[in-house]
Amino acid sequence: MIKKIVIAIVCMASAGMYAQNGTVSPYSFFGIGDLRTSATVENQMMGHMGVYADSIHLNLQNPAGYGELGLDVMDKVGPVAYTAGISNKQVRLKSFTEEQSSSLTNLDYLSLGFSLGKGLGMGFGIMPYSSMGYNFVDEISSGGQALTNIFSGEGDLTKVYYSIGYQIIKDVSLGVTINYNYGILSNERLQQIEDVQFGTFDRRSSEINGFDFNYALLYTPQIKEDHTLHASVRVNTQGNLVSKNERNIGSFSIATGGNIENIDVNLDANNLRNTEFKIPTTTTLGVGYGKDYKWFLGAEYSFQGLSSFENPFLGTDNVFYNDASSIAFGGFLTPDARSLDNYFKRVTYRAGVRLDRTGMVVNDVDINNFGITFGLGLPLGRSFSNLNVGFELGRRGTTRANLIEESYFKVNVGLSLNDRWFQKRKIN
């Protein structure tokens, strides 16, 4: 019965969560919105690192990890692994003069992976790629009158992926993920002048789709009988996204909100009807060390040549991009995975920390993110499955230069299930 309830929760979450905005950040105004993490709850709790892979959990960041599935669990084909994650994020937005709070709940991923034989595994699934969701007001004085601009935007890009990993020789695995990204992003600016009965609007919409690829190499030699070195290199190649754009401008009645004039802008004249986003390549290096199924410590560094990125359709003039980088540290501890009399000894305790230099520069100020992560992996019965609960405390941005500082507290809940969890018990 419990298994059926859990499966029903996952199905309901997958049906409903994608209808909600994935962010409330004013910084999602720029680029293609906030890029969402592709890490499972287990990896998010360790600072979002993707260097660690084992035989019973899916690693959605590192496709080479699929080559590890089932190696230490079954001698033949199997197991099948299922994973899903949802999150609730409490956000406080703070400017130099005021602050505001908000919250949002989202489905973060829904994935399936399985072994095709010793050293060969594959998987597929769906998750958010980026989210846009902002609403803010800019007030200035022009010619002795108050000029008000109201900016809002919404939309999500979704990622559908297929991954395969293979252990080409002992301790060395290669993997590749093919991502197809698609969705619609919409932006609106309303402008009003004090004591003027009509306002103006500028509405823009982009229908975006395209592919990118993630290649990975994983090296996991045994140093001692039960100690393992984990080292990986991941290259997420340049994403070439095509955007089909529309733009409408016009005027509206401030009293009624109805349109007075609506003009469909001829984007073909400026070669803006169809544009391209080139998301620069991201390279990630990771290394870690641990005792198998007991403890692990690792570090990961990634960098991206983001300075070449631009969005010609939006044409924002108060933002530019430097190269981005991220560094993370994290690990886990399982006191005794085989304990029969103490449940808490079988619990996995995870923690991590990360610093992201996003590369975004707004009003000549760098926008960075710092987060602390921690959580628990709770075993479900005597199987290899578990319920993962994670927490993240973080801060992004600053109140300098009329900007917004975001403080957030995120709660993640993830299920990691396998075919043994679904098998019925047999009595001889």
For residue 112, give the DSSP letter.
Answer: E
The average pLDDT across 98-122 equals 90
**Rounded distance between C-alpha atoms, residue 359 and residue 361, angstroms:** 6
Instruction: Answer yes or no: is pLDDT of 28 > 60.
Output: yes
116 touches 77 (CB < 8 A): yes
Question: Looking at residue 194, what is its pLDDT?
Answer: 85
pLDDT tens figures, 268-316: 998 999 998 889 999 999 999 999 889 999 999 999 999 888 777 876 7
pLDDT tens figures, 48-96: 999 998 888 899 999 999 988 865 544 444 567 889 999 999 999 998 8
Question: Looking at residue 420, what is its pLDDT?
Answer: 55
Instruction: Answer yes or no: is pLDDT of 365 > 70.
Output: yes
β-pair partners for 410? 89, 392
β-pair partners for 153? 134, 187
Distances (CA, A) of 97 to 7, 317, 401: 46, 24, 12
Q: Which long-range contacts (CB under 8 A, 24 or more apart) does 421-424 make?
A: 421/3, 421/380, 421/381, 421/383, 421/384, 421/385, 422/3
Is the CATH number 3.40.50.2000 carried by domain 2-422? no
pLDDT tens figures, 209-261: 999 999 999 999 999 888 999 999 999 999 899 999 999 999 999 888 889 99
**Rounded distance between C-alpha atoms, residue 59 and residue 232, angstroms:** 13
**Rounded distance between C-alpha atoms, residue 357 and residue 152, angstroms:** 25
Q: Which amino acid is at 239?
A: G
Per DSSP bridges, beta strands 324-333 and 348-362 are antiparallel
> Which secondary structure element, helix H or strand E, spans residue 11, and what is its range?
helix 2-16
What is the pTM for the complete model shown? Answer: 0.89
Question: Looking at residue 72, what is its pLDDT?
Answer: 57
Instruction: Answer yes or no: is pLDDT of 262 > 60.
Output: yes
Sequence ranges of the domains in the chain = 2-422
Give me the residue label for tokens 């905005």: 21
Give me the residue label for tokens 């073909």: 268
**In this structure, what token pair is assigned to residue 369?**
């993110």
Instruction: Answer yes or no: is pLDDT of 38 > 70.
Output: yes
